[in-house]
Copies of this chain bind each other. A is one copy, B any other.
Amino acid sequence: MTSSFTTAIGAGPSGYSLPLSPSGGSAALTPPPWHFAGEVIMVDYRVDPAVAAAFLPPELDAGTDPGAAAAVFAQWQWCSASGAELAVPDRCRFGEFLILLGCSHRGRPLARCPYAWVDQPVPMLRGWVQGMPKQLGVIHQTMPVRVGEAGPRLGAPGGFTGTASVHGQRIVTATVNVSGPIAEPPPLHTVPLVHTRMFPAWLPGEQPLSQLVTSKVTGVEFTEIWAGQASLEIFDGIDADLGRLRPVEVGRGYVFGYAETLCHGEPLEPGGNQ
């Protein structure tokens, strides 16, 4: 596969990412685009607007609805353009939990992801390339079933729970009891994400790379979206800053399938901000 993202470094070993190798085939990450399809449990909630503001870089503001937030669980399947990972299920599946904060840039509505956890290393590293602050955690979700009594049925009322833990401590529990389908996706799931691409300093006197970017996404597709009452707890055991994003109010919950193709990044301010 030819990609503008495949890196050739002189005559030496190559790859889109480390590890570099003679054929380029050892790279931990394949170059974009990457296709994703997942089953999502999502809860709208509100945080203290002053806390949300403290998580935003100076280039962003709180937008028209300060304190709007969401907790999102997903069980994903992914593949590169070639689809090769689908034949290696050890590689193509992962779980994710992330928090979204509503924000805006010069009037453009966006979402900021202050925290994200995944349960596989490749999506974690891929997150860092994009500026998405993914760490490794343990993520679990109740899934819909097609037959039998061991779970809520697909496309029917029922209860779903998501949990995430880090370093042996629970960080979040969310429940959604869906009662019927709705027409529109949750608002924070429809605006672009804005990330800080960051590469930490390592050489004496060096400044870290730090750059605000959004992501170019295509092929967005939703299944029918079911909605209903929700509950949400966020715990501060491992991180006091995370605990400050606990809900001051919990809104509606959603369960749905979602797909997208992630193509590349875009500078938030064209021509600038490096």
Q: Residues of A at under 8 Å CB distance from B?
A: 4-5, 7, 9-13, 16-23, 25-26, 28-29, 31-32, 35-37, 39, 51, 54-58, 76-79, 83, 86-93, 114-116, 121, 124-125, 128-133, 135-136, 138, 140-143, 145-152, 159, 161-165, 167-170, 175, 196-205, 208-210, 213, 219, 221-223, 237, 239-242, 244, 257-261, 264-267
**Chain B residues whose CB sits within 8 angstroms of the CB of A11 once the complex forms:** 58
Cross-chain contact A239 with B25 (CB below 8 angstroms):
yes
**Which residue, A26, A57, A205, A242, has most C-beta atoms of chain B within 10 A?**
A26
Copies in the complex: 4
Q: If the complex has contacts A133-B28, A141-B89, A201-B5, are A23 and B240 also in contact, measured as CB distance less than 8 A? A: yes
Also in contact, A168 and B163, with CB within 8 A (given A86-B150, A149-B259, A150-B37): yes
Grouping DSSP codes into helix (H, G, I), strand (E, B) and loop, the A interface class, with mixed when no group exceeds half, is mixed
Contact A138 B168, beta carbon cutoff 8 Å: yes
Q: Are B241 and A25 in touch, CB under 8 angstroms?
A: yes
Q: How far is the CA of A210 from the CA of B18 in the complex (A)?
A: 10
Max count, chain B CB within 10 A of own CB: residue among A36, A86, A221, A239: A86
Residues A202 and B151 in contact, CB atoms below 8 Å apart = no
Q: How far is the CA of A166 from the CA of B77 in the complex (A)?
A: 19
Decide: B36 and A148 in contact? CB cutoff 8 A. Answer: yes
Q: Nearest chain B CB to A126's CB is how many angstroms away?
A: 9
A88 partner, pick from B56, B77, B167, B210, beta carbons under 8 A: B167
Q: Tell whether A9 pairs with B147 under 8 Å between CB atoms, given A18-B131, A168-B163.
A: no
Cross-chain contact B199 with A161 (CB below 8 angstroms): no
Instruction: From known contacts A89-B141, A244-B22, infer whether A57 and B169 are also in contact, taking CB-CB under 8 Å.
Output: no
Tell which of B5, B29, B128, B163 touches A18, judged by Cβ atoms closer than 8 Å.
Answer: B128
CB within 8 A of A210: which of B9, B37, B265?
A: B9
Bound-complex Cα distance A222 to B114 (A): 42
Q: How far is the CB of A174 from chain B (nearest CB, A)?
A: 10
Whether B58 contacts A147 by the Cβ 8 Å rule is no
Specify the chain B residue showing the minimal Cβ separation from A203.
Answer: B265
Q: Is the CB of B202 within 8 A of A133?
A: no
- Of the residues B57, B199, B204, B241, contact of A264 by C-beta under 8 Å: B204
A164: B residues at CB distance < 8 A: 168
Given contacts A89-B140, A121-B121, 20 further A-B contacts (CB under 8 A): A4-B205, A5-B200, A5-B201, A11-B58, A12-B57, A13-B54, A13-B114, A23-B241, A25-B240, A28-B135, A86-B150, A88-B163, A89-B142, A90-B163, A90-B167, A146-B223, A148-B259, A165-B165, A165-B168, A202-B213
Give chain B nearest CB distance to A195 CB in angstroms.
Answer: 9
